[in-house]
Amino acid sequence: MSSHELKNDRILRAFQRQEVDRTPLWMMRQAGRYLPEYREVRSQAGSFMGLCRSPELAARVTLQPLERYDLDAAILFSDILTVPDAMGLGLSFVTGEGPVFERRIQSNADIDALPQPSAQKELRYVMDAVQACRQELAGRVPLIGFTGSPWTLATYMVEGGSSKTFAASKTLVYDQPQAAHRLLTKLADAVADYLTGQVEAGAQALMIFDTWGGALDPERYRDFSLAYMSRIIESLPREAEGRRVPVTVFTKGGGQWLEEIAECGADAVGLDWTTSMADARQRIGHKVALQGNIDPCMLHANPEFIRQEVARCLAEFGHGPGHIFNLGHGIQPETPPENVAAMVDAVHEFSPQYHGNQAASPKA
């Protein structure tokens, strides 16, 4: 089998709203701290970024969830903050605090001084990890590459790390909109180069995580988040290895803007658990595929309840292609791995009835 051949292309077909035999699934943060085998490799790497910067170790943890569960995609093990890190802001991860930047963006001069990192130079380690993942996968399932959205990256750069209020970021938008646009333009150009590099290295689908877009009001969301994601998508290679490279946009807390998100050029729109899958399909499901949207906390419940929630989510989407089953945000570190297995098994059991001419399966 050549490296271009896929044994399982179910998810790539679903992204194009083509017929499949069952609903494909993967999980945001599926390679991560809920798995003991991940924690073991993480301790070998010495630090989180040390793990990201080692193509061999990044590929190893990318494949770990596929050894446990019958998933339809691998997602590159990396972090959304690799681009601002490559801009020289001094990223580190502090236990209990999350990401922290040594230098934050506080002035026009800081924005002007930001270099434009290259996918092939400063971010070469990510491209090497993509290549290592493709080699290890050997056509088993497609590999998803990803990035943070320009607005989401900007919040970390301006706040200096995580934030509950985004006061500094929003003040920049309100008081100095032109400076904010300059920062976001720089980030959009860097992100477009970064994602293009991932496709050239072998990523077969792409995802833009707009984690903090939902913190904005509608007007600023359009101007300072969605517009820049559209700009990125317009510049991306949309075909590689003879296949379309689908792009998913996920704005956490963005359910009120689904119609506008569906027009941004993406093939799929990610949903968090606050948006009804049935409502989303009615509103935009004829234009794009839908990804989501189980509450990650549901995976702490008992396996029978998990099965019921899977059945409900599948029934909400209903019959036909264009649903990629996923969580509505990243899997939580305390999640019992056996509960993930219950969810995966339930998707496999209940979803065939919604596709093709399959006979109805027993209800949960």
* Of 118, 104, 117, 112, nearest in space to 154 by CA: 104
Residue in 69, 79, 189, 279 annotated catalytic = 79
The reply to whether 328 sits in an annotated binding site is no
Which residues 6+ apart lie within 8 Å of 108 measured at CB?
176, 179, 182
Residue 33, annotated as binding a ligand: yes
Cβ atoms 258, 251 nearer than 8 A: no
3-class DSSP state for residue 215? helix
The token pair at 348 is 């496999």
CB contact at 8 A, 171 and 158? no
Residue in this structure with the two tokens 């930001």, named with its chain if needed: 114
C-alpha atoms less than 13 angstroms from C-alpha of 242 in its C-beta half-sphere: 5
Respond yes or no: is residue 156 known to be catalytic.
Answer: yes
- Among candidate residues 10, 42, 60, 134, the one labeled active-site is 42
Q: Is 103 annotated as a binding residue?
A: no
By three-state DSSP, how is residue 207 classified? strand
Consult the annotation and say whether 17 binds a ligand: no
Give the C-alpha separation, 299 to 34, whole Å: 11
194 carries a ligand binding annotation: no
Please tell me which residue in 13, 29, 53, 231 is annotated as part of the active site: 29
Map residue 167 onto helix, strand or coil: helix
DSSP state, 30? -
DSSP 214: G
Q: Does 345 appear as a known binding residue?
A: no
Specify whether 33 is catalytic.
Answer: yes
The total of other beta-carbon atoms located within 10 Å of residue 362's CB is 7
156 assigned to a ligand binding site? yes
Task: Pick the catalytic residue from 38, 156, 194, 228.
Answer: 156
140 a catalytic residue: no
Catalytic residues: 29, 33, 42, 79, 156
Please enumerate, by residue number, every residue annotated as part of a binding site: 29-33, 79, 156, 211, 329
Please enumerate, by residue number, every residue annotated as part of a binding site for substrate: 29-33, 79, 156, 211, 329
